[in-house]
Structure 1
């Protein structure tokens, strides 16, 4: 994969949006937020990180606790590259099938495992959380919000988990994004097809005049745990 020069970035890297609570993100037309669920995973997450670097954009990674436990150094690498890390439960359970108490315990276990992976670098996950399968009910969502998680919803689902070619996923995702004109895009950093299509996706965004918005959370920590983003590696805490 050729290395892009900074002069080729154009206007693709956009503004940074700091979020304090669940709800609309206030995106403008032409603004895109890139999100990656289920990682980290060796061989795909690192390739995706390289591509994001080459285009000069930042993403939000919603990590599984079990995956962060398996690849803790890769979780820290995501943070070191300046991306935002959120959580996605411990083991990708359909929370709508659990009791409220069981669901919150699963959410919390995921947050704790990701926090443990980042702790050697004195970092902690952001408050962003996404429901596995996007499956939820009102009670569990309310409990997550009351526990100070920021629920991150999806506008454009790439459905990159389908057994399709990278080109098919690319075309569907771009079509859905063009139809909406802006939004939060869901990918998964565990699929080779996603890593393969990402350079063409970002190039297409650039050619079509989109900007990639970086997300940060603010307003305190989950379960009263201080929240520090990857910027803390440079001594800049998030508050």
Structure 2
């Protein structure tokens, strides 16, 4: 096994183990996870929690998902991100990851919606072909540092170096400038946020944490996300494209979003030389990642 392969494996292990402790196991079926909402039928003879059986096409036919796509917001300042009632933004951290990211891309394409992918530099460097698939599919991209450290535990100069290295790695892999940024663990500081904005990136915050990094069923992830949305009614949703449970539950989640009248909004960087620091504040939920 090469040194590079060992490094990538170690980085992935750190990502997977860095989340909070696992809660009690949550079960349930993706086809029956949404009792408070409009009833949906699942594909016959399919195990809804089976990542293979639950295909984007199967769920797409159920929900006629064409109208799920909402408007595009060109982002160049905080004031540009004004989500209306029942508008959400999909964001995926920590990838790209073979088999998981491609499957998520296929689902998003099936439902006709766009997301923002915040890539870890090491992962983009290890899987540049997948990183470029994200760009080719028309999704927005951002960086998530190079190796996913808690920047609050680094000096300011070391944190800046980590951010710059991550951005450069994503740019090299995708051949595009990553114009969005998310702090690992959402661990930031006023000074670092200012630096990120001054250097042309939009900071992505989170209002709806799917907690898909816990060792629970796909159904539990989908149910938790919808329950939070029913309270907050809008916001940026945090997901991760490194987990099979996320890829497995995404068709059901998007089907339910459509059934309840939500729209998936695309964020697009407007460019220009203005200071770019965008976030949506006000969430009362503690977000782990």
Equivalent of residue 96 in structure 1, options 152, 157, 178? 152
1:139 aligns with 2:191: yes
- Displacement of 1:101 in angstroms is 1.0
Equivalent of residue 167 in structure 2, options 111, 132, 135? 111
Equivalent of residue 44 in structure 1, options 84, 89, 100? 100
Moved segments of 4+, more than 3 Å = none
Instruction: From the superposition, tell whether residues 2 and 143 of structure 1 become closer, same or farther in structure 2 (CA, over 3 Å).
Output: closer
Aligned length: 219
Greater mean alpha carbon deviation, residues 10-19 or residues 199-208: 10-19
1:193 matched to which residue of 2? 245
- Displacement of 1:21 in angstroms is 2.5
Describe the SS at the equivalent of 1:27: coil
- Displacement of 1:22 in angstroms is 4.3
1:16 matched to which residue of 2? 72
Contact 1:127 1:221 (8 Å CA) reproduced: no
Q: Could you tell me the TM-score, scaled by structure 2's length?
A: 0.72
Equivalent of residue 174 in structure 1, options 226, 236, 241? 226
Show structure 2 runs of 5+ residues with no match.
1-54, 275-289
1:13-36 C-alpha deviation (Å, 9 max, x unpaired): 000001013467100001010000
1:35-60 C-alpha deviation (Å, 9 max, x unpaired): 00000000100000010011110000
1:236 matched to which residue of 2? none
Q: Could you tell me the TM-score, scaled by structure 1's length?
A: 0.87
Instruction: Give the Cα–Cα distance (whole angstroms) in 2 for the partners of residues 74 and 170 of structure 1.
Output: 25
Show structure 1 runs of 5+ residues with no match.
223-239
